Structure 1
């Protein structure tokens, strides 16, 4: 679990850096806000799961984190496809 938590934290840091460098246009601001909302929650939910002792609750929290990751992917794809922000590629 530690590896995934570290990766989620690094991803969250990347999202914060992306937010800082993104021009807040009327179109970009709400989209990036959604990206941050879901992207930052991935790691926080995994951290919360680490303290749960019940196996079923732990699995449920991990599934919620996976859902948040999928939502994050959607927002990343949308931002890239619409060229709302410049891709770092």
Structure 2
């Protein structure tokens, strides 16, 4: 499934983050950055897949405090992912990466909204 097929359906952020991770992995598999820049790509994959991993952990949290903590970590990972995408796009001039940047930004907004609403409710 392409990002465009689910980007407007934030109902289940867990599924959205999982699909985003898959898209990132497929994108990385399709580009050749050379050995010199592999560490940047590795960081990109780690941060992108960490978003969904923390959402999954948050969904099974035993307390609201833990839930919020994991979602805050997921948000930080999403922001880190945006950094790596911009670095890859601008430093290595990789094409077709802007859709991944846009989705990371949208996921960040959804996560931030969930965190804010969770902090407001008791």
With normalisation by structure 2, the TM-score equals 0.66
Residue 2 of structure 1 deviates from its aligned partner by 5.6
> Per the alignment, in what secondary structure is the counterpart of residue 25 of structure 2?
helix
Could you tell me which runs of 5 or more consecutive residues in structure 2 were left unpaired when the two chains were aligned. Answer: 1-9, 99-122
State the distance in 2 between where 1:70 and 1:9 align.
Answer: 16
1:34 corresponds, among 36, 43, 46, to 43
Could you tell me which runs of 5 or more consecutive residues in structure 1 were left unpaired when the two chains were aligned. Answer: none
State the distance in 1 between where 2:21 and 2:58 align.
Answer: 17
Contact 1:28 1:85 in 2 (8 A): no
Query: Which residue of the partner structure matches residue 86 of structure 1?
Result: 94
Structure 1 outlier segments of 4+, above 4 Å: none
Structure showing greater relative contact order (alpha-carbon pairs closer than 8 Å, 6 or more residues apart): 1
2:83 paired with 1:74? yes
Query: Which residue of the partner structure matches residue 46 of structure 1?
Result: 55
Query: Which residue of the partner structure matches residue 14 of structure 1?
Result: 23
With normalisation by structure 1, the TM-score equals 0.88
Q: How many pairs are equivalent? A: 88
